[in-house]
A = this chain, B = another copy of it.
């Protein structure tokens, strides 16, 4: 690890400034690149902002780019042949999404913004080009793949197992991981909770209300809420004991 700035700050291109100011640059995909590789990339990376429920990409589309999440949450959806839709994973700040594009494969899920999202769009060709000859980048890529795989498996074991209340508590715990230090989390719509945890909106609503009455959760305006982390831990512990 070096203390050298990862992205060069002397470029004239506007994106150079954006990269230099990027809050996640130390953990981002190109964190391993040196100056030699970095001069070329600013002009090809586009910074984008999406509003909640905006689509990043559609399942089945031939992808030409991967995306780094600079800020916000993105959910991955699949709908079965039966028509019902299920959220299979979420990704947050610092995560790389749409990696299947690098393999010239169609996107595997619908990717949709949960909150307002700031993304960097990285063309496939750029990664291909940087990958040749180097071996730090492939390793970095594989690391991200493994992270995604781990998240997907954890989704099965935490959010798709056991009674509804426990699944919701696990979801809150996970959302807390994406929260600021003030414990203000993004709280999904009831319908979205349903799609994440495979339950109806009514059940989701009942459970959220119960947790609110128990003091685990305090609703805040605009799809957000404040968590009592201690109470959440206690509630999760009580689940296990039973």
Contacts and interface: CB of A to CB of B under 8 A. Distances in A.
A83 interface: yes
How many of these chains are in the complex? 2
Interface class of chain A by DSSP: helix
A153 B75 CA distance: 12
Given A89-B153, A131-B138, A156-B88, A146 B105 contact: yes
Given A78-B156, A138-B142, 20 more contacts: A80-B162, A81-B240, A82-B166, A82-B239, A82-B240, A84-B162, A86-B156, A86-B157, A89-B153, A105-B146, A108-B150, A131-B135, A133-B135, A135-B138, A138-B141, A148-B149, A149-B152, A152-B156, A155-B156, A162-B198
Interface of A: 76, 78, 80-84, 86, 88-89, 99-100, 102-103, 105, 108-109, 131-133, 135, 138-139, 141-143, 145-146, 148-150, 152-158, 160-162, 166, 198, 239-240
12 contacts: A78-B154, A78-B156, A82-B240, A86-B156, A103-B139, A103-B142, A103-B143, A105-B146, A142-B145, A149-B149, A156-B160, A161-B198
